[in-house]
Structure 1
Amino acid sequence: MQAPRTSYDVVIVGGAVIGSATAYFLALDPDFTGSVLVIEKDWSYARSATALSSSSIRHQFSNPINVKISQFGTDFIRRFRENVAVDGDVPEIGFHENGYLFLAGDERGAGVLRANHETQVACGAEVSLLAPEALARRFPWLNTDGLTLGSTGERGEGWFDSSALLQGFRRKARALGVDYIEDEVVAVGRAGDRIVSVTTKGGQTIACDVLVNASGTNGRHVARMAGLDIPVEPRRRSLFVVDCRTPLEGPVGLTIDPSGVFFRPEGRFYLMGTAPRHDPAVDPDDFAVMHDEFEEEIWPALAHRVPAFEAIKVVNAWAGHYDYCTLDHNVILGPHGVVKNFLFANGFSGHGLQQSPAMGRGLAELIVHGGFRTLDLSSFGHERVVAGRPFLEQAVI
């Protein structure tokens, strides 16, 4: 497939949810009159983090800006139809607003939940703290032994169809004039402190004024093509869908055990996962499911926390990747300090899907207006990497 032209104002490398959200917000901005090309190597998106994620959104973070980012994400999802409809057609987002339930197993964990709760409420999030007795009343399926406190989202949190979000951004961006090609970037042309072009596997060299690196687990590889580097690596996450002999009675949100193991409903089934104890960098093409994680880490923890889960059967499983920022588990967003027309959108560490509306809008603001106009996302900038100054988030799953 040939690109419609050989020069663009903005080239976005990676067309999954972050790249397509950026293209969408660029195309929507009335002050932007330039051209945009999105280069995506696989239009099936079958192995993208977008398609393989647990597809959830929460407001329960420790850092105010992360709370506000997801609040905007919730608002975007609630208004999804009016935001992305093309000729009246829109993918079904399927937002299940069931909330998150964080559980603490000691006084230190309870202290973290209380501190986070103060931050979240100050940002306008609707979150409740529940003592063990209140947890037992509200969630009768939950074994509260050993728990000290719970934190649950009352509104705005839940899960949705990740592919619908991606396709909504992508279809609307294309309808607004953004070009997409299915190809892979194999070289980045740099002249001094500027990016001047990209070259694709298909043999095209395409000039650009701005390059956005939204290539997920390949983000470090793309940066190195330009002689740059970032502390981002692929980390594998295995997810398991199980059938439970006795369905849980009462409300069920995305529940995070003190061990870090989590689950949520998936239709009539349940989706489960964890950040594994052994969590090395992996080959970006390694999608092997780690079944030992289920047997040794996930099932034992959840069978204790949810007695009904003593009798479950795995009916499906897959592995996806986090583009994991080893500095602080937060995205690196915005321009390189020297090569200022190379913009990073890398290292989301599992938060990319829910953060995509705000991050796409923020990148578009940088490109069009030279700075952030809505949420101030400057704390995620590349300069913290150069300084070795982590921007910490306590509520990481």
Structure 2
Amino acid sequence: MGEVSENEAKNILKNSRRLQNEKKYSKAIEGYNIVLGNKNMPKSIINEAKICKLLAERKVPVLDKYSFLPEYMNIGKNGVDYYKSNKCNYTLYEEYDPVKKYFNYQPDWAYLESPSFKYDKNGIPMVKYNGKFYYNAVTICQYALYLYDGYMDTGVNKDKFLNTADFLIKSIKKDGSLRYEFKFGYYECLNEGWASSMSQGQALSVFTRAYHLTKNSKYINAGQRVLKYLLTPVSEGGVMDTLGALDKSLEDKIFFQQYVGKTSTYTLNGYIFTLIGLYDWSSVRCLPNIYYSNMAKRYWNKGLLSLKYILPYYDIGNFTSYDLYHIIKNGPPSSSDFYHCIHIEEMNVLYNITKDEYYKNIRNMWISYVKN
């Protein structure tokens, strides 16, 4: 089929979505290709077909509540403009090893003291919130990984890295969580004592490397406690959710929430940082950790399966969204130039680990949105 009208394209798109949800993926893709072959169509139609096709290629259904709204393009354009004006950049490593450098490059200037960032007397970073300095578990984990990367490059920072890892151990609560003792305004206010999957996951990445350097069992014990809490369902006070808020048919698929509130938001960057933590911990195969290593591997695989069902929805046509709140609440997407870089790096590390070309293709597509 050649040129089609806008109304015809809408009907083809609607029919293809129906076929996709009947598991007739090849037929659905044929329809999407017809729409995508007509570049004169409104961008919202083209992009909806693109997203649905990406899902169909993975042989998964499309959410009934999903549609690509025209305003997504303006939000994406603003994101691209900010990206270029702020001269954002990403770093792509060619391989990933749980006991070598972390995949997320961090520049030295990120850890310079400022009015909102300082170190305590023991060299542990603190961040200012609401006029007061607090420990932030993710910041501490990322600082530890930054130090470890420096050790890999130059042989220095080993003691600083282990000192930071030991501080994390002291910060673990009885239930295995790493808590935030300040209020945080997200879509809704998170009160003091909130927890995040991202800090749990990145702590696993830190403890993996600390154990590799020292073979000290305290890092095994710490990682096991952190893992147990990470795998605690939200319904029981934990951070492991399901995809059920997107569609009831997905209630058997897991998701690790970076922010746990009344509304499931499905933040992408924190989710993948968490998965990398699981992957790292699965590599710790010493005898006392075999059970937990296997458990981490199992949930790493479960997490990748969930990603298969939702990853394309983070694409807003010419940029990426921070989370899926716009689908849950049918509102405008949240986007960030900084997190678009993170998303690119995360697709790259998933490709390096799994060798699945799908992640490589998504990575390249998201790079193309901001390439000069």
With structure 1 as the length reference, what TM-score do the two structures score?
0.21
TM-score, with normalisation over the residues of structure 2?
Answer: 0.22
Structure with the larger RCO, 1 or 2 (CA within 8 Å, 6+ apart): 1
Q: Which structure carries more helix by proportion? A: 2
